Structure 1
Amino acid sequence: MRTLFIADLHLSENNPQITQALFAFLKTETSNVDALYILGDLFEVWIGDDEHTPLMDEVAQQLSHYHKKFNIPIYYIHGNRDFMIGRRYAKQANMQLLAEHYKIDLYGQDVLIMHGDTLCLADKNYQRLRKIIHNPLLQFIFNCLPLNFRKKIGWKIRTASQAKKAYKKGHIMGVTEFEVERLLCLFECSLLIHGHTHKVGRYPVTCKNTNKLRIDVGDWFNQYSFVEVTPTSIDIIIRSIP
């Protein structure tokens, strides 16, 4: 019995080795898996379910195969890069979409899972932008635009975001501890598992004089990492990408 968590693969045609690492992961991690949780940013950019590229279709095919052949449910929480993934693609990939903050019972332990971008409150510019781009009305209008036009907008936003990220300091990109404590107390959980910050590791949290734990699952670049939870252990597993 074990449950797996991954995040921040940022799949794109520019990095085929990461895509192949994902497919190898899906072929290898099949034994005694109760569920796979993908905590956002599976793709580098997503402009709509109506776009079809070989990468998108192959990833959906591999995920669907993983679900059907091994009877492993796949759950997905949107990231800040692919928050426009909709029900159509989720159905194609046999993924179940979850709310941005989601509480699960993991072998008797209450666990809060999320992508993690809402934890970075010091990045005020991004938080303001997030409120705008997550507006359902604006998303509806965006989806009504021609596909090629949406592609240009998506990659312009991505390029601008990369440029700004290079100048941001670590404390701005990192989580706000107060927000971590607030959410753990609000959801009454002892463990938080998330992605987004790309800082794989285990981080102790004290909430109302109670010791809790935050785990960042890490990203997939020169190496990849995932969290494996069993009834008796919580491990971060790191492997190299060829």
Structure 2
Amino acid sequence: MSTLFIADLHLSENHPKITDAFFSFLDTKTKNIDALYILGDLFEVWIGDDEHTSLMDNIAQKMRDYSVNNDIPIFYIHGNRDFMIGKRYATQSTMQLLPEHHEIDLYGKKVLLMHGDTLCLADKNYQKMRKVIRNPFLQSIFNLLPLRFRKKMGWKIRTASQSKKRYKNSNMMGVTQAEVERLLLKHGCQTLIHGHTHQVAEHQFERDNKSYQRFDVGDWFNSYSYLEADKNSLKLHIKTIAL
């Protein structure tokens, strides 16, 4: 039996091949699977559960079929692009929403899960913005706005974010090691699994005579990646997407 971890698919109508790859992934990963964890940014942008598109409904139905027909639970941690996903869509797609920092028992190993955006402390402008847009009160106000206005605002924010990202150096987009260590010590874990940086890799380090590991599960653009864990190992897989 194994557990799967993915993140940063950024699904949208503009990239149907990524959706096809996700559906193919679900079709082939149905046997001996204990659970699927999606660590944020499943969608490129999310402006509210009251929006209905064929893409959103098709993905929800696909995940529901995967979960119900194969008895595989799907767990979800919000990303920085789709943190507005709410209970309505979670129920529609059978996803179980998790807090932004979540500990699990992974075959006897205590593991910390997160999206990963809070690890990038060098990106000070984003961290300031995050405190504002993730405020529950402001989110509730945003949800009261007309859907058409929210869609326009959501795509403007997305476009601005992509433009700024091109000018950020790798150090700013990468994680802050001190924050990694702080969170692992706080949660009493020696393994961290996350997404967000789109830099698929396994990192190992030592602290106080103990071994620690961090897995970045990568994104789903030119290739897709996922982490597979069983009672013996944690292994990153990278596959090519046919564009």
TM-score (norm 2): 0.99
Q: What's the secondary structure of 2:162's corresponding residue?
A: helix
Q: Which residue number corresponds to residue 3 of structure 2?
A: 3
Alignment of 1:133-152 (within 5 A): 133-152=133-152
CA distance in 2, matches of 1:203, 1:216: 8
Report the AA paired with residue 127 of structure 2. Q
CA distance in 1, matches of 2:194, 2:20: 23
Q: Which residue number corresponds to residue 19 of structure 2?
A: 19
Q: Which residue number corresponds to residue 211 of structure 2?
A: 211
Alignment check: 8 A CA contact 1:12 1:44 kept: yes
Q: Deviations over 1:181-232 (max 9, x none)?
A: 0001110111000000001010013333311000000000111000000000
Q: What's the secondary structure of 2:166's corresponding residue?
A: helix
Unaligned runs of 5+ in 2: none
Q: Deviations over 1:23-80 (max 9, x none)?
A: 0000000110000000000000000000000000000000000000000000000000
Q: Which residue number corresponds to residue 78 of structure 1?
A: 78
| Residue 165, structure 1, aligned to residue 165, structure 2 | yes
CA distance in 2, matches of 1:207, 1:180: 12
CA distance in 2, matches of 1:52, 1:162: 24
Alignment check: 8 A CA contact 1:46 1:85 kept: yes
| Residue 40, structure 1, aligned to residue 40, structure 2 | yes
Report the AA paired with residue 233 of structure 1. S
Report the AA paired with residue 33 of structure 1. I
Moved over 2 A (4+): 205-209
Alignment of 1:180-195 (within 5 A): 180-195=180-195
Unaligned runs of 5+ in 1: none
Q: Which residue number corresponds to residue 101 of structure 1?
A: 101
Q: What's the secondary structure of 2:192's corresponding residue?
A: strand
Report the AA paired with residue 84 of structure 1. M
Alignment check: 8 A CA contact 1:185 1:207 kept: no
Q: Which residue number corresponds to residue 66 of structure 1?
A: 66
CA distance in 2, matches of 1:67, 1:207: 39
CA distance in 2, matches of 1:24, 1:82: 22
Alignment check: 8 A CA contact 1:36 1:72 kept: yes
CA distance in 1, matches of 2:37, 2:207: 25
Report the AA paired with residue 74 of structure 2. I
Alignment check: 8 A CA contact 1:41 1:79 kept: yes
Residue-pair matches, total:
242
Q: Which residue number corresponds to residue 114 of structure 1?
A: 114
Q: Which residue number corresponds to residue 241 of structure 1?
A: 241
Q: What's the secondary structure of 2:163's corresponding residue?
A: helix
Report the AA paired with residue 221 of structure 2. F
CA distance in 2, matches of 1:124, 1:86: 27
**Over the residues paired in the alignment, what is the CA RMSD in angstroms?**
0.6
Q: Which residue number corresponds to residue 51 of structure 2?
A: 51
Q: What's the secondary structure of 2:43's corresponding residue?
A: coil
CA distance in 2, matches of 1:209, 1:48: 46
Sequence identity (%): 65
Q: What's the secondary structure of 1:167's corresponding residue?
A: coil
CA distance in 2, matches of 1:183, 1:211: 15
CA distance in 1, matches of 2:226, 2:6: 5
CA distance in 1, matches of 2:124, 2:209: 29
